[in-house]
Amino acid sequence: MVRTLSLRATEHIGKEINVKGWVSSRRDHGGLIFVDIRDHTGILQLTVQPESKDAFDIAQELRDEFVISATGTVKERQDDLKNPNIETGAIEIIVSDIKILNKSDALPIQVSSTQTISEEHRLKYRYLDLRRPKMQTMLKKRADMYKVMRSYMEENEFIEVTTPIIANSSPEGARDFLIPARMHPGSFYALPQAPQQFKQLLMVGGVPRYYQIAACFRDEDPRADRLYGEFYQLDLEMSFVENGEEVRSTMEPLINKLVTEFAGKKLLTPVAPRIKYVDSMNKYGTDKPDLRYGLELTDLSVQLKDCGFGVFSNAIKDGGVVKAICVPGGASLSRSQIDQFTELAKSNGAGGLPYMNIVDGVATSSIAKFFTESDLAIIVDALGAKDGDAIFFGSDKLHKVNKVLGILRIAFADHFKLKDPNTIALAWVIDFPFYEMDEKTQKLDFSHNPFSMPIGGADALKKDDKLSIVADQYDMVMNGYEICSGGVRNHNPEIMYQVFGLLGFDAKYVEEKFGAMLSAFKFGAPPHAGCAFGIDRMLMELVGESNVREVVAFPKNGSGVDLMMNSPSIVDSSQLKDLSIKSTI
């Protein structure tokens, strides 16, 4: 059988061949019947003439998505009948024989149409949706991406090792999917949120460099850039590594290769900048900044601490800050558009959104009267504002101002179309805080995960201000999305006890949760470090999709439901009895 796209070559003209696929369309012109046949490589036109009576009779029965086999002779089309819009538009097959391999009912969704179909409908009939050329291309791209990744990892002496899917529950920042253990009533396995403990144990086991394309499971709410339930990551670990930079410099060439060679896009910088977490938060209002555009946050607290605008000066006196963003061309925003940005600011905790427009080099607005000419000049100079620009302000506690202006920064970039889709901006955000304060409980908690080494080791844990402890953790960011998270691992049992002890967990808890690792670390564990790249999210950005469900074969919908397989579903009471559990619903 010859695939349709291979028929672009003139070498096939005059030859008898056989093709198989789905009927994409059928056109009956009385004396001739034209059938477009489609497979994963493209579309080809079949021409059925009345002289081939049996084939002609069968062709009259054909309908969309019938599965057929056709035999005939390849012929070059006349110049005025060639179709430049398809790869095989210069040829056709004059059919001598057709077989119907299978028929199709009327379709619930159109495969060959360009009409918009709701996502819910597409997911319900995903097996049909996958026939569309776009989805066929996406599946092929994913496979190609895997090929590039595996080739690079093997060239760099990583060993592919698969780790268990049925594992133990582990506190890694999200809810576990639990599995009742039938043979051990009352006990549960868990699907792994990540292969974290296993890959560290591989380092103890003498594996120099490990990787796998790992399935991970987290019971988190879905969103446009995050799948529900399961996702895939390029997981890796390197032994005898004591500094995160060794991991970063080893893996960055792979991501550059995926950007330039696989996706055919432009890198903003040949080397991804290293940005400290605290600097990223203060400059961009987020720990995953999109560097394709500026709109940086500027701190004006020193300059405006004694200004006449009470909202600003009082915030500073109360230990807060005043920050601003200069938006090029922002003076063109209408009143209703500014109202929309103001509502966005308020919905994220701001009291309002003060702003100034720059006209003839001077900042003007309804609040300008509260500032001296010197204050206004200082604001314009500090922001580097020009005529036609607008300056938007935030005043409150530092973390709140960073959050609000960081969200506005993204919204302004979307509004003014500052995100070049053909450019990929990479960055490493480093030196994350080891601990953070949980806003709900007001208790200390891990910022990322408990497996990283605090910079400075055990001595760092002696600091009075626990929030100032920095971990050797790092994320890679791609166009505003976190695509990788990693760190230098804590391979010292005593430090492991201490980092949990500061949160109020005793040695017994640590041994229950991480007994295997703690035991292994007592027998000559080498220093090691690693990371994991989110494949789904990375592919989404590389191919220019805005919804991660577009790059996965069988995703669940936005509510975590598989409409095609009707899951989750109610199970028989006998199954629950076997597992020694009862439903309270």
Query: What average pLDDT does this structure show over 34-55?
Result: 93
Residue 159: beta bridge partners? Answer: 210
Name residues whose C-beta falls within 8 Å of residue 297's C-beta, 6 or more positions apart in sequence: 282, 283, 284, 285, 323, 324, 325, 401, 402, 405, 406, 409
| pLDDT above 60: residue 1 | no
Do both 483 and 379 map to the same domain?
no
What would the DSSP string read from start to end of 225-269?
Answer: TB-SEEEEEEEEEEES--SHHHHHHHHHHHHHHIIIIIS--EESS
Contact between 500 and 461 (Cβ < 8 Å): no
Evaluate whether residue 115 is within a structural domain.
Answer: no
Q: CA-CA distances (angstroms) from residue 255 to 70, 141, 233, 261, 267?
A: 44, 15, 13, 10, 10
Contact between 454 and 435 (Cβ < 8 Å): no
DSSP 468: G
Do both 358 and 431 map to the same domain?
no
Residue 213: beta bridge partners? Answer: 234
Query: What average pLDDT does this structure show over 54-71?
Result: 95
Question: Of 418, 444, 473, which residue is a domain's last?
Answer: 418
- At 225 the pLDDT is 83
Confidence of residue 224 (pLDDT cuts 50, 70, 90): confident
Rounded CA Rg of the chain: 30
Lowest pLDDT segment from 115-119, 263-267, 471-475, 578-582: 115-119
Phi, psi of 186 (to 5 degrees): 90, -10
- At 221 the pLDDT is 83
Which residues in 431-561 belong to E strands, given as ranges?
435-437, 444-446, 473-478, 481-488, 528-534
- At 440 the pLDDT is 83
- Amino acid occupying residue 264: G
Three-state DSSP state, 282? helix
Evaluate whether residue 124 is within a structural domain.
Answer: no
- At 3 the pLDDT is 63
Do both 54 and 141 map to the same domain?
no
Long-range contact pairs involving 163-167 (C-beta distance under 8 Å, separation at least 24): 163/192, 163/195, 163/198, 163/199, 163/202, 163/212, 163/214, 164/192, 164/198, 165/191, 165/192, 165/215, 166/191, 167/191, 167/192, 167/197, 167/198
Phi, psi of 371 (to 5 degrees): -115, 150
Do both 448 and 474 map to the same domain?
yes
Q: How far apart are CA 211 and CA 161, in angstroms?
A: 6
End-to-end CA distance of the chain: 55
Evaluate whether residue 270 is within a structural domain.
Answer: yes
Closest residue by Cα to residue 20 from 6, 9, 4, 8: 4
For 449-463, the pLDDT digits (tens) are 788 999 998 898 989
Question: Of 102, 125, 160, which residue is a domain's last?
Answer: 102
Q: What is the separation of C-alpha 553 from the centre of its chain, rounded to a whole number of angstroms? A: 15
Query: What average pLDDT does this structure show over 351-379?
Result: 93
- At 259 the pLDDT is 98
Q: How many CB atoms lie within 10 A of CB 563?
A: 17
| pLDDT above 80: residue 173 | no
Three-state DSSP state, 541? helix
For 388-430, the pLDDT digits (tens) are 999 999 999 999 999 999 999 999 999 999 999 999 999 999 9
SS (H, E, C) 329-379: CHHHCCHHHHHHHHHHHHHCCCCCCCEEEEECCEEECCCHHHCCHHHHHHH
- At 10 the pLDDT is 67
Q: Provide the CATH number for the domain around residue 391.
A: 3.30.1360.30
Do both 406 and 432 map to the same domain?
no
Do both 387 and 298 map to the same domain?
yes
Q: How far apart are CA 239 and CA 236, in angstroms?
A: 10
Q: How far apart are CA 381 and CA 247, in angstroms?
A: 41
Query: What average pLDDT does this structure show over 545-556?
Result: 93
Residue 584: beta bridge partners? Answer: none
DSSP 105: P
Q: CA-CA distances (angstroms) from residue 191 to 150, 169, 174, 582?
A: 24, 8, 12, 21
Contact between 60 and 50 (Cβ < 8 Å): no
Do both 266 and 327 map to the same domain?
no
Name residues whose C-beta falls within 8 Å of residue 104's C-beta, 6 or more positions apart in sequence: 63, 64, 65, 66, 67
Q: How far apart are CA 89 and CA 429, in angstroms?
A: 49
Do both 84 and 147 map to the same domain?
no
Contact between 365 and 356 (Cβ < 8 Å): yes
| pLDDT above 90: residue 220 | no
Query: What average pLDDT does this structure show over 91-104?
Result: 96
- At 2 the pLDDT is 56
| pLDDT above 80: residue 11 | no
- At 4 the pLDDT is 61
Lowest pLDDT segment from 205-209, 243-247, 420-424, 435-439: 435-439
Q: Provide the CATH number for the domain around residue 166.
A: 3.30.930.10
Q: In whole numbers, what is the pLDDT of the chain averaged over residues? A: 93
Domain range holding 399? 293-418
Do both 545 and 444 map to the same domain?
yes
Confidence of residue 381 (pLDDT cuts 50, 70, 90): very high
Do both 70 and 198 map to the same domain?
no
Do both 236 and 270 map to the same domain?
yes
Long-range contact pairs involving 302-307 (C-beta distance under 8 Å, separation at least 24): 303/375, 303/378, 303/379, 303/382, 304/375, 304/378, 304/379, 307/370, 307/371, 307/372, 307/375
Rama region for 524: left / alpha / beta (φ>0; ψ in -120 to 50; rest): left
Evaluate whether residue 284 is within a structural domain.
Answer: no
Evaluate whether residue 383 is within a structural domain.
Answer: yes
- At 7 the pLDDT is 64
Evaluate whether residue 572 is within a structural domain.
Answer: no
For 264-303, the pLDDT digits (tens) are 999 999 999 999 999 999 999 999 999 999 999 999 999 9
Rama region for 419: left / alpha / beta (φ>0; ψ in -120 to 50; rest): beta
Contact between 122 and 134 (Cβ < 8 Å): no
Residue 25: beta bridge partners? Answer: 36
Do both 364 and 302 map to the same domain?
yes
Evaluate whether residue 160 is within a structural domain.
Answer: yes
Cα dihedral sign, 499-456-527-203? positive
Contact between 181 and 138 (Cβ < 8 Å): no
Contact between 67 and 100 (Cβ < 8 Å): yes
**pTM metric for this prediction:** 0.91
Q: Provide the CATH number for the domain around residue 75.
A: 2.40.50.140
What would the DSSP string read from start to end of 434-465?
Answer: SEEE-TTT--EEESS-TTBPBTTGGGGGG-S-
Evaluate whether residue 35 is within a structural domain.
Answer: yes
As for how many domains the chain has, the answer is 3
Query: What average pLDDT does this structure show over 210-214?
Result: 98
Query: What average pLDDT does this structure show over 10-17?
Result: 84
Q: How far apart are CA 54 and CA 72, in angstroms?
A: 13
